Every structure is written in structure tokens, then in C-alpha cells.
Structure 1
Amino acid sequence: MTIQSAFTYITATISELYDPRESANIAHIVLEHITGMNKLDRLVHKTKILTPDQNTRLKSAVEALQRLEPVQYVTGTEWFYGMELLVNKHVLIPRPETEELVEWIVQDIAARQQPHILDIGTGSGCIPLALKKTIPHAQVSAIDVSGEALEVARSNASRLHLDVHFSQVNVLNSQETAFLPVFDIIVSNPPYITQSEQANMQEQVWGFEPSIALFVPDNDALLFYRHIALLAKDRLSSRGILYFEINEALGQDVVMLLEESGFKEVVLKQDMFGKDRMVKGIIV
């Protein structure tokens, strides 16, 4: 099979699952992963024959795509803030909206002298690694309840040669969080999708990404925001800032929660699609 025929094979096989543009994008991602060649090189060498090993990997990848497995899990990687990160079923796939959250933090704090930052629910480590890469003088820590997720995050830190301290901590357990020090910045992209919202989600998300990182009970959508706000109030330095990524439907609820918790200068920010996506508050 040539590179060109492999592209046709992938797009034809998944055409009933994705629209033509997305099918093409997925095919390009898979072929770059399998061949190690970028799009231009594959165009120039489109008649090059795949090796037997590449053919085997191609078949395996297409079978996974037919099961609706996200292409990021098929290749085991995703790009975030200019970094290629390892991802697997134990971590959420990093998303562009979270890059916007990182950029907001960078704009706010890049001039601070050695800010001490904590990311809660780090998953792949995308947020703290992006912050450490962009603000090298920052001291960056991250916690997650999942040991498997922390393995991925530590692997990403090692590959990128970024010094981030990772710890296994359940933010809902006050005995475990009692040992955390004081920080200047706390950020979190916590679980915020209510279980009833699952019906409106793509199977590629709820069927493969870790539910522990996605869902909260319908009767307590602010579960993690409430616990993290209480923790942040106790663990932030003077003029320390708490940043959240949020469910677009919960913007005003999170703003009210922070204000009632004693945070000042609370700001609700929209993402590139005009959806309520980020909130920050300051401890005075």
C-alpha cells in the first residue's frame, strides 16, 4: 500500500463516522504518526510503499478509529501550547479552550518574581507544563487523584525536560490537602460535566476519556469548585489568584460561589467561541 492509497483507505473506512474534512484531518494525523513524515513530505513521496510494520500499524489504527476511539489515543499524542504530549485513556485529551486559560494566566503573572503555582486535577500535566515552559522562573506543582494520570504527567515532564512537582492528592479529602503549602496561583480544570449532559456528548468523549475527570453528579455540579475555592482561600498568599476552567452553563454560578467565598475582583471570561469558559478571583 502506498502513502496515497493509505490516505484513501483511512478516509473511506471512517467516512460514515466523520464528515469529509474531519476524516481527512484524522488520516493526516495517523499517517504522520505511522510514517514520521509531514504533510508536504507525504505529498512528495505519495507513491512510496509502506513497510510491513507500517501496514500492520495502519490496520490497527483504522480498527481503533472504527471503534470510535479518539485519534489522539490511537497515536498516543496530542499537541498543546506548542508541546507534543503523551496521552492515553487515563487522561483527558487537552483542548484549545484550556490553552486560552493558560494564556490568561501567563498574561497576568509572567512579571511576578518566582510565582509558586499549583494545578489541581492535572491529568496529562498540560497546564503546569505549559506554565513552566512559558514562565521558567515559576515554581510549579500539580496534583491529581489518579496515579495512572500522574504517570502520564511525569512522563511528559521528563520528555520535555520541565521541572514540575507532581503528587497524588484527592482534593476532596481535607486530610490529604492539609499538607499543601501556600501558593501564589492555583488553577484547576476540574470535572464539570453533569451526568445528564452525557446524552448530548459524542461517544468518542464519554466512551473513552476517563469519567473520573469528566463528570459530576447532577445534584452537585459545583462539587469541585466549592472544595477548591475553600482550599484556595486557605492556601493562597495575599493577592493570590484562583483560576478555573468552567462548564459554559455554570459561569454565573461559579462567579457567585467565589464572591460568596470571599474572593475579590472576580472575572468571568469567554473562550474563542464566545462561551463562558474561565473564571478568576483574587484573595485580598
Structure 2
Amino acid sequence: METNYATFIKKAQLEYSHRPDLVERLLCDRLDWTKSDLIYHLQDNVPKTIQEQFFKDFEKLKQGVPLQYIVGKEWFYGREFMVTKDTLIPRPETELLVEQVLNRIPIDAQIKVLDIGTGTGIIGLTIKLERPNSLVDMVDISKEALCVATHNAKQLHADVHCFESDVCSSVTEQYDVIVSNPPYISHDEVCDMDDSVLQYEPHLALFAQNNGYAIYEVLAKQLPAVLAKNGCVLLEIGYQQAEKLKKLFQQSFPDKYISVLKDYMGLDRMLIIEERRI
């Protein structure tokens, strides 16, 4: 049955009324259209093949599968990244972490950067693309995640080095900037989490032992050996972890200044370790 895009979208939005915006986005992502493209084609008939693909995707969406896993991509810092079941979905809060890194790297600086637990590679790749003279290494314990990061690097023409490492265990060099968004959710917080996150996103990248502090404790032990003199560390953290982590890392870096920055919601989200301010 022939139907135009306007009618097709309206029917789907009535069925998915709690998030009608996702209907348009799902269609645009599959067609590789912008919102302007969609508006331009609203009165055009929807090809049968497009309808069939949409209905398959739409069923997954109604079952709770995140849209990013359905279409296999997500945008971060103005760029498109491949996303798979082996990687976390990029989140806006992490852009704040990247911005703090970029604020500390002059445009033409030739410095060494390490991205620990890179996942899709959004942090390390964005830093490389925004600061092309930097030398960026990206590590992850997951071989599957490293494949995704390597794919994204090729797609974005970013010259980075990806290798497998359990935190810093395989890291042999020192770096001027070390950045990480590690697993930091406690298993006790499962009841507070969205069902789609629990069901579809990789638990290896979400949860950490010892009430969410396990990876930070490893970082506190390993980072002093791989951080260059006058270097800085930027970490994404859980909103209730700031005070304990400040004490933990102050023991590892007694001569450094440690600060905590908030996210868009006003929650503690970043811990920064750098030279003491005068």
C-alpha cells in the first residue's frame, strides 16, 4: 500500500507516543538523511523496501533495544561513530570530559595522550582529530571493543595506536595526558538503572567491583608510573564518588592538585589531577 512519509511517520509516532522523536531519527539514520531531507521528502511515497526495514527496526525499538544498537551508530562531538553490542553508547556527559582535555592541550602541541578503556574510541579519536599533532594511544581489555575503535579510526582517518591492555598493565611509555571513562557503577545500583541499559549495554564496561571503585583503585596504583612529569589525568566518575576518589588519588599524587567538575545536571562527573595551581 502506497503511503507518503508524512502519513507513515504520523502512524508510527502514535504507536510510539512516549518518544515520537525516535521515529523520525530511526528513519533518518537508516536513509542517511538530515531532518531537512526528511521535511523535503514528506510528500514522497515510502518505498516498500524502506517500509519493510523500518518495521523490523521499529519492532526492536518497541522491545527496548536502544536506537544506537539498531542502526549501529551514534554521534559524538559532531562526528559519527560505529557502535556495537560490545561498546557503550556514547553519552553527552563524556563530551565535557573531552572538552576539559582539549582545554589543556594547545592547538599545535606535540604531546602524548593515553585513552584507557577506549570502547568505541570516542575520547581518543576526538582528541586526535581536534589536536592533530598529538600522539594518541588507546587501550581496552576487550578485543571486540578495540575492533570497533580501530574501525572508527579508519573511518575518521585518525592516525592512532590501539592495543589491548587491562588498565595500564601493558602500557610501557609515559604520557602527558591520560584520560579514562572506566566502569564505575556498583552492582548495588542495578535497581536504579534503566532496563535497556542493563539488558543491552556491555556489563564489562559498566560495572566495577568494590562498590564501583575497583578500576579507580588499579588506576591509583598504576598511573604514577605512566604519567609524565607535569602531566595530567582526567577521569569520568560516578556522581557519588568524588570525595573518596579525591582522597585515593591524593595519596598516589601528593604533589598534584585534584579538582572535581560537574556535568550538565550539576552532578559531580569529572576528577582532574594536574600540577598545583599557584
Work out whether the TM-score is over 0.5.
yes
Contact 2:236/2:271 (8 A) holds in 1: yes
Contact 2:185/2:211 (8 A) holds in 1: no
Structure 1: unaligned runs, 5 residues or longer: none
Name the counterpart of 1:207.
Answer: 199
The equivalent position to 2:225 in structure 1, one of 231, 234, 257, is 234
Name the counterpart of 2:105.
Answer: 109
Name the counterpart of 1:52.
Answer: 48
Identity of aligned residues (%): 33
Question: Does 2:206 align with 1:221?
Answer: no
Measure the CA separation in 1 of the matches of 2:188 and 2:90: 23
The equivalent position to 2:248 in structure 1, one of 251, 254, 257, is 257
Measure the CA separation in 2 of the matches of 1:63 and 1:35: 18
Superposition pairs of residues 162-181 of structure 1, within 5 angstroms: 162-171=158-167, 176-177=169-170, 179-181=171-173
Question: Does 2:80 align with 1:89?
Answer: no
Contact 1:236/1:283 (8 A) holds in 2: no
Deviates more, 1:256-265 or 1:98-107: 256-265
Structure 2: unaligned runs, 5 residues or longer: none
SS of the residue aligned with 2:266? coil
Measure the CA separation in 1 of the matches of 2:178 and 2:87: 20
Name the counterpart of 2:174.
Answer: 182
Name the counterpart of 1:99.
Answer: 95
Name the counterpart of 2:20.
Answer: 24
Q: What is the Cα-based RMSD across aligned positions, in Å?
A: 1.6
Contact 1:147/1:168 (8 A) holds in 2: yes
After TM superposition, the score normalised by the length of structure 2 is 0.93
Measure the CA separation in 2 of the matches of 1:145 and 1:253: 25
Name the counterpart of 1:4.
Answer: 6
Superposition pairs of residues 114-153 of structure 1, within 5 angstroms: 114-153=110-149
Measure the CA separation in 2 of the matches of 1:148 and 1:50: 36
After TM superposition, the score normalised by the length of structure 1 is 0.91
Question: Does 2:187 align with 1:195?
Answer: yes
Superposition pairs of residues 64-75 of structure 1, within 5 angstroms: 64-75=60-71
Deviates more, 1:36-45 or 1:121-130: 36-45
Quote how far apart the aligned CAs of 1:112 are: 7.0
Quote how far apart the aligned CAs of 1:220 are: 4.0
Measure the CA separation in 2 of the matches of 1:198 and 1:24: 27
Quote how far apart the aligned CAs of 1:45 are: 2.0
- Structure 1 segments of 4+ aligned residues over 3 angstroms from their partners: none
SS of the residue aligned with 2:155? helix
Could you report, residue by residue, the CA deviation over 1:231-252 in whole angstroms, capped at 9, with x for unpaired residues?
Answer: 2111111011111000001011
Contact 1:237/1:283 (8 A) holds in 2: no
Contact 2:109/2:131 (8 A) holds in 1: no
Quote how far apart the aligned CAs of 1:226 are: 1.3
